[in-house]
Amino acid sequence: MTHTFHPTVLREYDIRGVIGETLGPDDARAIGRGFGTRIARAGGKKVAVGYDGRVSSPVLEHALVEGLNASGIDVVRIGLGPTPMLYYAAASMPEVDGGIQITGSHNPANYNGFKMVFQGRPFFGPDILDLGVLAGSGDWESGNGTSESVDIMDEYVARLVKGLDGIAPAELEGLSIAWDAGNGAAGPVVEKLTALLPGKHTLLFTEVDGHFPNHHPDPTEEKNLVDLREAVASGNLDFGIAFDGDGDRIGAIDGEGRIIWGDQLLMIYAEDLLKIVPGQTIIADVKASRALFDRVSELGGTPLMWKTGHSLIKSKMKETGSPLAGEMSGHVFFAHEYYGFDDALYAAIRLIAASVRLGKSVTALRGAMPAMINTPELRFQVDESRKFAVIDEVKARLQADGAEVNDTDGARVNTPDGWWLLRASNTQDVLVARAESYSEEGLERLMTQIDAQLEASGLERGPQAGH
């Protein structure tokens, strides 16, 4: 038996598609067969499986487990929950050799997909493409695996609370926080977690609903933070936290309603962490503000700029021994006193801990940051066959001009006005641009440079592509 996936489904960091169009139960079964085969051939026997709150998730979970079992792999089913709960199961259960979460993350309700971890490391890039090769040739192991259901949510919540070890409950009593789960899979965990925390907690949309009736669960878009802002303002709360659909990305606002972007959260985490473990390497992706890298240096740490992509960042952390990393998109990774995977619920706990340990409110920490002017992530449609070639052309022209370029991931150019970035998306047929300056005029000049580079490669900064 063989299986062919739709060409858009096997992607760089995960597997994703539109239910009933590009992704269905047969694909889930083939993913189970392929992943199970890889686990078996690496000497493994057991895989943990979880799923998010999307309407299509239970059907895909059933087929995925069938595929794993048919490859001779035993399955631990942890049920509905956020992606980091699945990562936790894979990291904390000694008998488990890998994990798969069924999730569409922050994509529209008709999407779904799979995120995987293999013997403690991210499973991405060539690994994912290999599932397509195994399916196309039918080169699968066969066997009769078992499946058992295990409820680990309470254990996971107890582990999250350990992020506050060493802080007296009295120090937390005065805190008031709003939590917006966006009807995503983090909701039940947020309810259990806040029930154990001192202080005042206002919960929004913790009921899991795969139709996302209140707002889309993507905390990096300002329009999705309106309800959180209102809750913080009306309750005169200290700050607010929001989660994406599967709980691996965090968003936050301070007591004045200002957004705390991914790189700004990292500045807070770094200040706290570098007091506990001085001189460490802190990693952020190429889209992060210069203010973050400067701040890490100022605090005595070593800033490291790395490629965008949660799997790439996790791998770099392992390689460098970094205790903390993050992305603009709200993925935050703590290896310090945790497992090194992206867990927005743990990141929320560490934000509370940082505020208490540093003796400063989240609003004061946000207010102390330099006022930089930056663009959001700008996306330009470009033919798949051209996107990497355009970046090479840009780098060649910049080199010829003697520009100061960091080519870790695309081209990030430093100028006296600030910096601009142009990189090719790994997951879509788009170029991604971002610029940051100290003034509006400076930002204009940086955008002019981006336009000139696009034009020189026969492209224009026309209508932007969506996410």
Based on the fold, state whether residues 215 and 336 are members of the same structural domain.
yes
Based on the fold, state whether residues 439 and 307 are members of the same structural domain.
no
pLDDT, tens only, 31-53: 999 999 999 999 999 999 999 99
Based on the fold, state whether residues 141 and 164 are members of the same structural domain.
no
Strands (E) across 299-443 are located at 302-306, 324-326, 332-334, 373-374, 378-381, 404-406, 411-415, 418-424, 430-437
CB distance 215 to 231 below 8 Å? no
Q: Give the whole-angstrom CA distance, residue 238 versus residue 376.
A: 26
Based on the fold, state whether residues 329 and 279 are members of the same structural domain.
yes
Nearest to 272 by CA among 239, 249, 252, 301: 301
> What is the count of structural domains for the chain?
3
pLDDT, tens only, 250-283: 999 999 999 999 999 999 999 999 999 999 999 9
Nearest to 259 by CA among 221, 287, 289, 205: 221
Determine the Cα angle at 300 with ends 299 and 301, to 5°: 95
pLDDT category at 311 given cuts 50, 70, 90 is: confident
Is 222 in a helix, a strand, or coil? helix
Residue 464 lies in a domain: no
Based on the fold, state whether residues 123 and 231 are members of the same structural domain.
no
Residue 466 lies in a domain: no
Domain boundary among 367, 401, 423: 367
Residue 4 lies in a domain: no
Q: Tally helices (H) and strands (E) across the chain.
A: 15, 22
Of residues 465 and 341, which shows the higher confidence score? Answer: 341
Domain boundary among 302, 336, 367: 367
Based on the fold, state whether residues 427 and 399 are members of the same structural domain.
yes
Based on the fold, state whether residues 324 and 299 are members of the same structural domain.
yes
Strands (E) across 73-174 are located at 74-80, 98-102, 111-118, 121-122, 147-149
pLDDT category at 465 given cuts 50, 70, 90 is: very low
Q: Give the whole-angstrom CA distance, residue 228 versus residue 231.
A: 5
Residue 465 lies in a domain: no
Domain interval for residue 421: 373-456
Distant-in-sequence, close-in-space partners of 211: CB < 8 Å, separation ≥ 6: 55, 109, 183
CB distance 48 to 96 below 8 Å? yes
Q: Give the whole-angstrom CA distance, residue 325 versus residue 270.
A: 9
Enumerate the H helices of 374-426 as residue ranges.
387-401
The separation between CA 34 and the C-alpha centre of its own chain, rounded to angstroms, equals 25
DSSP sequence for 171-199: HHTT-EEEEE-TTSTTHHHHHHHHHTSSS
Q: For the chain, what is the largest distance between any 2 Cα atoms, rounded to a whole number of angstroms?
A: 66
Based on the fold, state whether residues 221 and 317 are members of the same structural domain.
yes
CB distance 80 to 52 below 8 Å? yes
pLDDT category at 466 given cuts 50, 70, 90 is: very low
The domain that holds 58 is classified in CATH as: 3.40.120.10
Distant-in-sequence, close-in-space partners of 441: CB < 8 Å, separation ≥ 6: none
Residue 5 lies in a domain: no
CB distance 430 to 382 below 8 Å? yes
pLDDT, tens only, 86-128: 999 999 999 999 999 999 988 889 999 999 999 998 899 999 9
The domain that holds 386 is classified in CATH as: 3.30.310.50
Based on the fold, state whether residues 266 and 295 are members of the same structural domain.
yes
CB distance 189 to 247 below 8 Å? yes
pLDDT category at 467 given cuts 50, 70, 90 is: very low
pLDDT, tens only, 350-372: 999 999 999 999 999 999 999 89
Based on the fold, state whether residues 281 and 355 are members of the same structural domain.
yes
Catalytic member of 56, 57, 71, 105: 105
Residue 6 lies in a domain: no
pLDDT, tens only, 128-159: 999 999 999 999 999 999 999 999 999 999 99
Mean pLDDT of the chain: 95
Based on the fold, state whether residues 183 and 318 are members of the same structural domain.
yes
pLDDT at 296: 98
Q: Is the pLDDT of residue 315 over 50?
A: yes
Residue 126, burial from CB neighbour count under 10 angstroms (0-12, 13-18, 19+): exposed
Cα 252 to Cα 28, 260, 345, 352: the distances in Å are 34, 5, 12, 12
Nearest to 329 by CA among 256, 271, 229, 246: 246
Q: Is the pLDDT of residue 291 over 90?
A: yes
CB distance 343 to 325 below 8 Å? no
Nearest to 196 by CA among 151, 154, 237: 154
CB distance 36 to 70 below 8 Å? yes
pLDDT, tens only, 373-404: 999 889 989 988 899 999 999 999 999 999 99
Residue 446 lies in a domain: yes
Domain boundary among 118, 151, 184: 151
CB distance 151 to 79 below 8 Å? yes
CB distance 422 to 411 below 8 Å? yes
355 annotated active-site: no
Based on the fold, state whether residues 326 and 392 are members of the same structural domain.
no
pLDDT category at 287 given cuts 50, 70, 90 is: very high
Residue 361 lies in a domain: yes
